Amino acid sequence: MKRTIAVVTSSRADYSHLYWPLKDLAAHPGVDLKLIVMAAHLAPQFGATVSEIERDGFPVAARIECLLHSDTDVGMAKTLGLAILSLTDTLAQMRPDLLLLIADRYEMLAPASVALTLRIPVAHIEGGEVSEGAIDDAVRNALTKMAHLHFTSTEAARARVISMGEEPWRVHHAGAPSLDHLRRSKLFTRAELEEKLAINLAEPPIIVAYHPVTILYDTTEEADALFAALEKTTSPIIFCYPNADAGSHHLIERTRAFIEYHANARLFVNLPAVTYWSLLRHASLLLGNSSSGIMEAASFALPVVNIGLRQYGRERAANILDAEPRTGAILEKLAIAQSDAFRKSLHGMANPYGNGHAAERIVEVLTTAPLERLLRKRATPATHP
């Protein structure tokens, strides 16, 4: 009997992490893969990236329309409610043996909650990490407690999941699956990238990947310092679209206004994973508050200026320069990041998030885990200081 494994993806960001696990699950003779696509993937304003999934050859088993065209926290909460309603019908009909979720997007609470009530075991990738400046931190921990199998990116994250009371046999250190692209995907050369994106990379650009800071009441208040600092740089700039959190529309409008008066700046709504990875390889640095700066940039020894609260608490490599959300602080760290001395100091550095073998570890566990043991979780004994 094949094991039915459903996988949920809600954005271009998590799809880039799931690509190689999906490839290996689709190729496994003992797996009936059911891909559920939802939220930003189906939204034209975020590039309707479901088409990218289909171009990659993955059949879509279900499409969950739930993302409100909103820029508020109320819109986020209502998106979550719509997702629960729609996923209930989908998962009740599908009844997979396992449901695979990843990371910490707020909308992932919907499939986890539905699976919990339908008694569908949940596997979760990238639990045990810390990002104190976003609601993602609470979401990630909630997903951990609702999940029955865990795949962590680092050993410290594995220890943190176990410290939350999860049985050690359920918790596997796999590494970040996004790093599998570096080992298994063919990245574009500079010439190929220039042709594909219609840009000139003779001078390596600054990549800006900046998202709303969802722990703040004003989720874009830290962006003032970012744009003020960008006004003072002469380097080419490539902006990546923000994610679909409250405040994203404001950031998009502000970015478009910046580009209108800066001929050396470009904005891309959607960059497929391999294109984005290739761009990191040819960039001068990454600026912003994205987890890709923490998790992926280290594989290229790429300097990263990480702004503000959003990624506070994450494990980080030597390429990360943390800047307070003040213009002067950002410019100070940009100067260090662009210096030859700092670049030379990164030669030979290792990425703490893995070595590109995550997918095979994840698929091995998903296809062999004893299903009959998964639903009943036993609390580990509490320890006291």
Specify the CATH number of the domain 186-345.
Answer: 3.40.50.2000
- Asked whether the predicted pLDDT for residue 116 surpasses 90, the reply is yes
pLDDT of res. 384: 58
- Give residue-wise pLDDT tens across range 157-169: 999 999 999 999 9
- Give residue-wise pLDDT tens across range 242-251: 999 999 999 9
> HSE of 79 in the Cβ direction (CA atoms, 13 Å)?
26
For the record, the structure tokens of 330 come out as 């950002």
Whole-prediction pTM: 0.96
Judge whether 135 and 214 are in contact, CB under 8 Å. yes
Whether the domain at 3-175+357-374 and the domain at 186-345 fall into the same CATH topology: yes
Instruction: Give the containing element (helix H, strand E) for 112.
Output: helix 109-118
Q: What angle do CA 100, 104, 107 make, to 5 degrees?
A: 80
For the chain, give every domain's residue range: 3-175+357-374, 186-345
For residue 78, which amino acid is it? Answer: K
φ, ψ of residue 149 in degrees (nearest 5): -135, 145
- Asked whether the predicted pLDDT for residue 385 surpasses 60, the reply is no
Judge whether 50 and 42 are in contact, CB under 8 Å. yes
CATH superfamily of 3-175+357-374: Glycogen Phosphorylase B; (3.40.50.2000)
Judge whether 207 and 296 are in contact, CB under 8 Å. no
